[in-house]
Structure 1
Amino acid sequence: MNRRKKIKQLLQAHAKKASAKLAPQSKDRYISKADRAKLALEADSASPAIDQA
């Protein structure tokens, strides 16, 4: 592989990574199991207060 091809390949790889970083994410952010449990607990504790009011 000659030097010019190698440099071009590296620059293309960097450009591809940069554009992928700016692209919209297809997946939601990861939420740990403990955080999901905490959110569910907060939702359960908040819903009876709304029903009583």
Structure 2
Amino acid sequence: MSISVSDELQLFAQEIHRFLSPNILRDLARDVELLLMKKKRELSEYKAI
């Protein structure tokens, strides 16, 4: 029996929700967003050179 990627991600999300509070999840999401924005800015600055 093979499990789909979608099903695997759903199980992973359920485990995260079981162990982390909504506030911690929100903070993690914000940190990831800031990191992605920083990387995008660095890439655009590098391309400008």
Q: Using structure 2 for the length normalisation, give the TM-score.
A: 0.47
Structure with larger Rg: 1
